Amino acid sequence: MKTYDLVVIGSGTAAQVASARVRRAGLTVAVVDHRPFGGTCALRGCDPKKMLISGAEAIDAVHRMQGRGVTGEPQISWPELIAFKRAFTDPVPQKQEARYAAQGVDAFHGLARFTGPDAITVAGQEVKARHILVATGARPVPLQIPGADQIITSDRFLELESLPRRIVLIGGGYIAAEFSHIAARAGAKVTVLQRADRMLPRFDPDLVSWLMEKFAELDIDVRTQATVTRIEQTANGYRVHADGVRGKESVAADLVVHAAGREPDLEELDLAAGHLAISKNRLELNEYLQSVSNPLVYAAGDAAGMGPPLTPVSSHDGKVVAANILEGNLHKPDYRGVPSVAFTVPPIASVGLNESQAQAQGLKYKVKSENTPNWFTARRLAERVYGYKTLVEEGTDNILGAHIVGPQADEVINLFALAIRHNLTAKDLRTTMFAYPTGASDIGYMV
Ligand SMILES: Cc1cc2nc3c(=O)[nH]c(=O)nc-3n(C[C@H](O)[C@H](O)[C@H](O)COP(=O)(O)OP(=O)(O)OC[C@H]3O[C@@H](n4cnc5c(N)ncnc54)[C@H](O)[C@@H]3O)c2cc1C
């Protein structure tokens, strides 16, 4: 039986970063995945989704400019858009395998399961390790409702060969928001059934309310406080039943999509065999991302669930774990200033604290917020959704939080992330010269 210095379960972002660093230091490394190599972001998440959003952006741009010098009715050809996406995703697994081979990292295909505190089994082979990294990502939270087996996941949505006419999305987070913007612009009639009292609960409520104008314009039927209770198969599709504010309601659909949240994917690991303590479906980890019950095991990224479930966090965790394996437990993850974006068209973005978090921390701060469709950035694009909210600490002048909705929000938020992570002040941002006219050139007016 072969013993590695490090066995990584998963081949996504966290796995790639950690395995490359540990291997570069001369240690022996193996990675294991039961799906094609590359992980969620490249194959089933950020990247393929953003390829489809390029289609939605093109449609949106033409619609905004209609009557302003652009004519014609654009259309999405779904099969072509999916082929465009595949041109990016299809080569990923092979490239990843080649990269591992070039690095001298051994690749195992199959489901990994712990057989002891320092051992796993994969495809009938027992593998031992001095360290094991759980980088298994996240999976959709199982929906315990009748007919749940009829609901497709985001993975399947991103593979659809044709786009059904009537689509129901269950959930109201970023996946529901983004997929509804893609599908509606591709011609589908979309309904969103969201249990909470508003869409995008992790984003600022004022900015989300401005963005909802876009959902209305796209004729996306957003029903909040609607808890899905069952999916019924009908002669020509499905009927999705929900308990809503006005009592029981139902929506006819050709496709029902799970967008109701994700949780660490620990299901198949046999955590007990690995002596891995869990609490509320999460591995119990110390501040070094190490299991509190088995010091040979670390976790990173979505599987660890210590930071927000985002690709840059997985990458950061991968670096932290690699450093702790190589140097001993000296490194803790630092999740200050992690920007988060829902890639609706236009996008909504956020970094740092929101008002309730700042209040809960007892901070003294100034809020600046404005709905700004009259600013040049929005006007030149004929975009009616544009606005911001910033929180600046009194006394230090530090940026505590920034929230932007509208054109280029997804790029401009990165400058606020830089400010928060490196303690730049509002004055630093005001006195920086940004290229004009760009989204960033509005920052001086936002703080
Ligand atoms: C639709 C969608 C859109 C997203 N959009 C964005 C975005 O725009 N920006 C952003 O930052 N983040 C986005 N995310 C989140 C982002 O994709 C994840 O945070 C990130 O990919 C997690 O990386 P990871 O390395 O932790 O795990 P993953 O990349 O999920 O890798 C885990 C791997 O482990 C494998 N695995 C699991 N269990 C086992 C086992 N027992 N044995 C063997 N292999 C196993 C899985 O097959 C998987 O390949 C999105 C996610 C989704 C689903």
pLDDT in tens, 56-85: 999 999 999 999 999 999 999 999 999 999
269 close to ligand 1 (CB < 6 Angstrom): yes
14 close to ligand 1 (CB < 6 Angstrom): yes
Give the number of residues written for the chain.
447
Residues 6+ apart with CB under 8 A from 415: 429, 440, 443
Are 133 and 8 spatial neighbours (Cβ–Cβ below 8 Å)? yes
| CA–CA separation, 112 and 125 (whole Å) | 10
**Predicted pLDDT at 245:** 87
Structure tokens given for 100: 């591992």
Residue 128 — very low, low, confident or very high, per pLDDT cuts 50/70/90? very high
| CA–CA separation, 147 and 156 (whole Å) | 17
The residue whose CA has the least distance to atom 37 of ligand 1 is 136
Say which residue the tokens 């009616």 belong to.
384
311, 340, 343, 345, best to mutate for ligand 1 pocket (most atoms within 8 Å of CB): 311
**Predicted pLDDT at 1:** 83
Residue 258 — very low, low, confident or very high, per pLDDT cuts 50/70/90? very high
46 close to ligand 1 (CB < 6 Angstrom): yes
Separation of CA 131 and ligand 1 centre (Å):
21
Separation of CA 228 and ligand 1 centre (Å):
26
301 close to ligand 1 (CB < 6 Angstrom): yes
DSSP lists the bridge partners of residue 237 as 234
CB-side exposure of 60: number of CA atoms within 13 Å? 26
Helix (H, G, I), strand (E, B) or coil at 116: strand
Residues 6+ apart with CB under 8 A from 377: 386, 406, 407, 408, 437, 438, 439, 441, 442
| Per-residue pLDDT tens digits for 150-183 | 999 999 999 999 999 999 999 999 999 999 999 9
Compute the average pLDDT of residues 103-132.
98
**Predicted pLDDT at 246:** 83
One DSSP character per residue, 267-324 reads TTS-TTTTT--EETTEE-B-TTSBBSS-TTEEE-GGGT-SS-SSHHHHHHHHHHHHHH
Share of the chain above pLDDT 70, in %: 100
Are 298 and 324 spatial neighbours (Cβ–Cβ below 8 Å)? yes
| CA–CA separation, 371 and 170 (whole Å) | 29
| Per-residue pLDDT tens digits for 200-247 | 999 999 999 999 999 999 999 999 999 999 999 999 999 999 999 889
Q: Is the pLDDT of residue 12 over 90?
A: yes
310 close to ligand 1 (CB < 6 Angstrom): yes
Separation of CA 12 and ligand 1 centre (Å):
6
Share of the chain above pLDDT 90, in %: 99
**Domains parsed from the chain with CATH numbers:** 3-139+263-327 (3.50.50.60), 148-260 (3.50.50.60), 346-446 (3.30.390.30)
Separation of CA 34 and ligand 1 centre (Å):
13
Are 399 and 414 spatial neighbours (Cβ–Cβ below 8 Å)? no
The model scores a pTM over 0.85: yes
Compute the average pLDDT of residues 306-329.
98
DSSP lists the bridge partners of residue 126 as 121
Are 242 and 256 spatial neighbours (Cβ–Cβ below 8 Å)? no
Residue 268 — very low, low, confident or very high, per pLDDT cuts 50/70/90? very high
Residue 199 — very low, low, confident or very high, per pLDDT cuts 50/70/90? very high
Separation of CA 114 and ligand 1 centre (Å):
20
Compute the average pLDDT of residues 49-59.
98
Residues 6+ apart with CB under 8 A from 48: 42, 85, 88, 89, 158
Compute the average pLDDT of residues 113-126.
97
Q: Which atom of ligand 1 is nearest to the CA of 343?
A: 8
Indicate the average pLDDT of the chain: 98
DSSP lists the bridge partners of residue 274 as none
